[in-house]
């Protein structure tokens, strides 16, 4: 294009833009943009659901199952209600301490009664 042809082209474009109402231009642009967007979506198919095979989710499922098994195993292990001693000597000593504490309490009660009476 020569410079004269370019000037004529630019003059026609300016005249068309100046003479056209703004609402028509905006509506045309929006309609064109919508058509282009719909064409792109139709050709790419990105809105269609993808076929996920079970191989895709298998690692996540396995990880969730391992966490579930660990949680169940840990929660099912209860501490015993009775005290745990490593040897019989420790158990006997603990029983004797309990007995001594009870005997001391009874002796203290008897002293309190004799002091009060």
* Tens digits of residue pLDDT in 2-39: 788 888 888 887 777 777 666 666 778 888 888 877 77
Are the CB atoms for 52 and 59 separated by under 8 Å?
no
- 10 Å Cβ neighbour count for 34? 10
Does some domain include residue 99? yes
Does some domain include residue 63? no
pLDDT for res 44 = 55
Q: Rounded to whole angstroms, how far apart are CA atoms 61 and 55?
A: 10
Does some domain include residue 14? yes
pLDDT in tens, 35-82: 877 776 666 555 555 566 767 788 889 999 999 999 888 877 766 666
pLDDT for res 49 = 55
**Residue-range definition of the domain harbouring residue 106:** 83-117
pTM > 0.85: no
Cα 61 to Cα 54, 56, 75, 95, distances in angstroms: 10, 10, 21, 51
Q: What sign for the dihedral angle of Cα 30, 36, 37, 39? A: positive
Does some domain include residue 72? no
Does some domain include residue 28? yes
Does some domain include residue 105? yes
Does some domain include residue 59? no
Does some domain include residue 42? yes
pLDDT for res 75 = 78
pLDDT in tens, 88-100: 777 777 777 777 7
Report the domain count for the chain.
Answer: 2
pLDDT for res 30 = 80
């Amino acid at each position: 294009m020569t410079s004269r042809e370019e000037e004529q082209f630019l003059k026609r474009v300016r005249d068309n833009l100046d003479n056209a109402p703004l609402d028509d231009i905006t509506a045309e642009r929006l309609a064109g943009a919508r058509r282009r967007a719909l064409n792109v979506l139709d050709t790419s198919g990105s809105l269609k659901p993808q076929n996920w095979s079970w191989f895709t989710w298998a690692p996540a499922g396995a990880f969730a199952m391992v966490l579930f098994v660990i949680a169940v195993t840990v929660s099912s292990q209860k501490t015993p209600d009775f005290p745990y001693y490593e040897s019989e000597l420790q158990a006997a000593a603990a029983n004797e301490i309990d007995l001594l504490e009870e005997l001391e309490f009874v002796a203290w009660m008897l002293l309190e009664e004799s002091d009060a009476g």
